[in-house]
Structure 1
């Protein structure tokens, strides 16, 4: 049970300069920065082995004005351009100061991780993710979140960062002015008290808390949660007890392409390369290029709450560059058919309806007519046999609302006062996606995890 406790109740077993809750991307980046600044740091991770939301993500991080972009010929990206793309997706509903802070910090953060800690970055330049005006999606060479987390963990170990696993923080000790320490519950039920000079909340959001999801995101009540079960909203609950400014709890990242029932993410690159989604009636139901986050709600609105991704051999071969897609192939999630009629039989839809859908799509790709859902098909060729399909559903990936922070990643109170030694990043902090699913721009989750971890780690030292 998470709680805020009086500092007088703390009986400290040990003390550190900076305590960090959560050993995901945000927590490890913050730890690396704080250790670099000379602090004694301890990362507290509730799991026996850190996994969390980072390892479940694609591992793709949007960043502007990096040398990695320039190496592929992207010369004209800037933090201001990136910020404009973020705000265009949110319809200017994200906090402008927070947007500016993370869009300016993320490029230097990735270059610092490369220069100081040996992380390798590549920029994905074979297609544009929805909402981004240029190629700025960075990844480690393996192109997975698990590999990103492993590389960060390796860097943390090399830097001497201490990580305590099986250490579930269940309470904060405060004297109303400052955080004085934390209560830790171990896997055997025993408790420890740790005093700290600064505390960084890097413990993600509340996607694993069904009651909070039902209250703040009712449209996804009962939907599959593709995230870490430990994301129970501790930071939000602590923030409420402390009188923190909490915003955009209705904001979240969904995804409209989670293989069902295999629960494997199918990259939205299939849609961007010319694929379509059809429902059980064999009909398209949306603009597949509007964004994969809001597509979750559209897929869940279909009969039986699922859809089929339909695409051809060209896209199938392209998709095999993504490890998740290869996993889906091995799991038997991908259907293949030499003809439209055969595919219709395999996915149990009316062949005439599916034929009509593909015929209409081909006409749009030839520049004939205007799509009723607003998608531009003219940049990709028409689908042709052999065809492929994968059954998908919509899912909640992670929440985007949380504790409001200032430009130094201090948590802010309802009155706008900064808590002097309390910081937040990643899913614990309010993100830059605004108040609903449609504001999520590809990569926003890892953007705020790494950028705010980078900012918080530096500013937490000496507080």
Structure 2
């Protein structure tokens, strides 16, 4: 495992060519590496989402393409004759840890292979293609023939070398739960190795809306919200149809705010306002100050970079087996381009490999609730394939609640992702079908709303909001997309009257006007909402009005490995499997039959933190 992926933290903000080795965030298509901090003029100059555009180096040709955000990606490409010698990132706005990592990977591969016919990063296809297009445009502007840069790089054969490693704790997966566990284990005195099969960190958490539910006396009191641990417990337990393990629910609700304080102690920032995320049932959702889920990973990676001697992170490294000897888990087997790895864990292995929302075969195998899920999109990243559950079951772990698969009514009609969603809070929007009529309580549980949506024509709806959600056109949604951008791209519609909005989206103007008027009367409490809705704040009465299309999408798998309150994995007889711990979406028994909106991220933090501590201390 030779070359260091040192640049991970810097490279995602990068403008310079990096010389490390994992395609995860940067570099060549080789493999694993340890993530540490590295010096970079890019990070110093502040290239990133909201940074000013950098000037190209003398002689560089500026190539431009539209990035994932819809904003320009600008690259300065330097040549010596026909050879591409350097690619400088001048301006980019894609998400840190995902889009930016993909762009850097393309840059490194283009320089290495002198070809734009390079692989795109799984889970960041649009960003990867934008980088390829920007380089291609620079080649054209240079007066060179792009056809000369289309040679497909030969695949490098994987090494057959065998590698042996040893650490106190080995973590499977570098998503939210995995990195929380790694940091926690190290804080409790353990040396840690983390293996991630994907070319980037973050899992589903980094591309999530990032809402974090917790009873927070300070922020909630300021908002006039009354809450309690017992109220949170009741809503979570009953909201999951009383199918969850009560002791896990109690552990969750009691530790949610202390875990948030733990994040803050590591440097993470949350906004002061409290809101109600879709399906949360109560205003206790916290929003990180950084966009989407990047704040969690900025926080974890800052810690890991500062403790790089004790915490090693390997990307593009797939764990294939959990090793169990004499009844105890003692390590894992893994593979990457450097060879076959056996990593021994003195104190324990933490399974944080995520759910199976992106595994169509697996979700159809366990689905007993929904229509066939073969053609339904997913919000999940492509690495969410259930590997951690399968490997744990192979050594005797018990799987529970596997049939409990959560769908959301909020998927992009084309991709299934959550991007493009125009809602800002549950209280200030309604859903209407293709006829312009409301059809469900928009403050209800996620499964209730999704089942209601499946009954509508084409399983299709429009989200309707007004100026209360977007006071100005540059206000962004939870995915760092401004409403003006979404309108310009045709992903949202804008009008000064409800009737004009109805015409733009092709619904009956009378029906839409009636839907809005009825909702406004319910806000006024002059009528009882016909769908039983109780969560309100503002009327929909202030132009401009906006509409965005949504369809059902697979979002979260509530089933998985059964654990104790100490995150120890249980076998089929209810006995602890010594040396094996689990956290995050790979586990079951926490959410029951329905996960409340805003509970996924704290799940990763709460039980990731517990798993790290338990493994390090031998609990």
Report the TM-score, using the length of structure 2 for normalisation: 0.67
CA shift in 2, pair 1:84/1:267, >3 Å: farther
Of the three residues 453, 465, 469, the one matched with 1:315 is 469
Alignment pair present for 1:422 and 2:549: no
List aligned pairs for 1:354-365, cutoff 5 A.
354-365=512-523
SS of the aligned residue for 2:581 comes to: strand
Name the SS for the 1:343 alignment partner: helix
Whole-Å Cα distance in 2 between the matches of residues 14 and 321 of structure 1?
A: 45
Deviation at 1:23, TM superposition (A): 0.9
Measure the CA separation in 2 of the matches of 1:165 and 1:402: 24
Q: How does 1:179-258 map to 2 (within 5 A)?
A: 179-186=329-336, 188=337, 190-197=339-346, 198-217=348-367, 218-219=370-371, 221=373, 222-258=375-411
Among candidates 228, 242, 247, match of residue 97 of structure 1: 247
C-alpha distance in 1, partners of 2:227/2:425? 25
Between structure 1 and structure 2, the one with the greater Rg is 2
**Distance (whole Å) between structure 2 residues aligned to residue 39 and residue 53 of structure 1:** 26
Tell me: CA distance 1:415–1:114, structure 2 relative to 1, closer, same or farther (3 Å).
same
> Equivalents in 1 of 2:372, 2:207: separation in Å?
19
- Show the counterpart of 2:592: 434
Query: What TM-score does the superposition give when structure 1 sets the normalisation length?
Result: 0.87
Given candidates 317, 340, 365, the residue that maps to 2:498 is: 340
In 2, the alpha carbon distance for the partners of 1:140 and 1:224 equals: 26
Q: Residues 228-249 of structure 1, C-alpha deviation per residue, up to 9 Å, x if partnerless?
A: 1111111221233223221111
Equivalent position to 1:296, from 450, 464, 467: 450
Corresponding residue to 1:450 among 605, 612, 619: 605
What residue number does 1:403 align with? 561
**What is the CA-CA distance between 1:401 and the residue it aligns to?**
1.0
Q: CA deviation at 1:389?
A: 0.7
1:173 aligns with 2:323: yes
Structure 1 residues 354-363 or 154-163, which shifts more? 354-363
Check conservation: 2:275, 2:286, Cα contact below 8 A.
no
1:428 and 1:377 map into 2 onto residues whose CA distance is 32
In structure 2, what is the equivalent of residue 118 of structure 1?
A: 267
* Residues 84/166 of structure 1: CA separation in 2 closer, same or farther (3 Å cut): same
| Whole-angstrom distance in 2 between the partners of 1:343 and 1:410 | 53
Alignment check: 8 A CA contact 1:266 1:325 kept: no
Partner of 1:63: 214
1:168 to 1:352, Cα distance in 2 relative to 1, 3 A: same
**Alpha-carbon distance change, 267 to 93 in structure 1, aligned in 2, over 3 angstroms:** farther
Preserved contact between residue 275 and residue 285 of structure 2 (Cα < 8 Å): no
| Partners of 1:191 and 1:323 in 2: CA distance | 40
Instruction: State the superposition RMSD in angstroms.
Output: 2.7
Paired residues, number: 445
Q: Distance in 2 between matches of 1:127 and 1:106?
A: 16
Alpha-carbon distance change, 295 to 337 in structure 1, aligned in 2, over 3 angstroms: same
Q: Greater helix percent: which structure?
A: 1
CA distance in 2, matches of 1:450, 1:111: 11
Could you say which residue in structure 2 is the equivalent of 1:461? 616
Q: Say which SS state the counterpart of residue 596 (structure 2) adopts.
A: coil
Q: Is the 8 A contact 1:366 1:378 kept in 2?
A: no
**CA separation of 1:431 and 1:292: change in aligned 2, threshold 3 A:** same
Separation in structure 2 between the aligned mates of residue 54 and residue 43 of structure 1, nearest angstrom: 17
Aligned with 2:414 (options 247, 254, 261) = 261
Structure 2 distance, partners of 1:382, 1:90, is: 31
Q: Does 1:36 align with 2:187?
A: yes
SS at match of 1:316: coil
- Would the alpha carbon gap of residues 323 and 233 (structure 1) be closer, same or farther in structure 2, given more than 3 Å must change? closer
What's the CA shift for 1:73? 7.0
Q: Distance in 2 between matches of 1:349 and 1:278?
A: 9
Look up the match of 1:8.
none
Matches within 5 A, 1:138-153: 138-153=286-301
Offset of residue 409 of structure 1? 0.5
Rounded Cα–Cα distance in structure 1 between residues aligned with 2:517 and 2:229:
42
User: Residues 104-153 of structure 1, C-alpha deviation per residue, up to 9 Å, x if partnerless?
Assistant: 223222222322x22223343255765454x5323331242123222222
Whole-angstrom CA distance in 1 between matches of 2:345 and 2:193: 9
Q: Structure 2: any 5+ residue segments left out of the alignment?
A: 1-161
- How far the C-alpha of 1:212 sits from its partner, in A, is 1.3
Task: Answer with 413-422 or 140-149: which moved more.
Answer: 140-149
